[in-house]
């Protein structure tokens, strides 16, 4: 979470992200979301190919 918070802070400092955000809280929320998706998605009958989605975005 520290690395993500640092990257968010860097983005705010460069003007890429809005200033005044709570970077640590956002990083914790992202980690919680990621953990939740990792546990819930496999329990559903759906499939999701993140690699394919990422490749498609690059086109």
| Cα 49-55-57 angle, rounded to 5 deg | 105
pLDDT of residue 18: 93
What is the predicted pLDDT for the residue at 21? 93
pLDDT score of 54: 73
Would you say the C-alpha torsion 49, 52, 25, 3 has a positive or negative sign?
A: positive
Confidence at residue 40, expressed as pLDDT on a 0 to 100 scale: 72
Q: What is the pLDDT of residue 31?
A: 92
Q: What is the pLDDT along the chain (59 residues), one digit of tens a residue?
A: 899 999 999 999 999 999 999 999 999 999 998 888 777 766 666 666 777 767 776 65
């Amino acid at each position: 979470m520290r690395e993500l918070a640092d990257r968010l802070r860097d983005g705010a400092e460069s003007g890429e992200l809005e200033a005044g955000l709570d970077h640590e809280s956002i990083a914790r929320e992202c980690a919680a979301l990621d953990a939740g998706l990792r546990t819930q998605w496999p329990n559903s009958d759906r499939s999701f190919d993140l690699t394919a989605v990422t490749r498609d975005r690059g086109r």
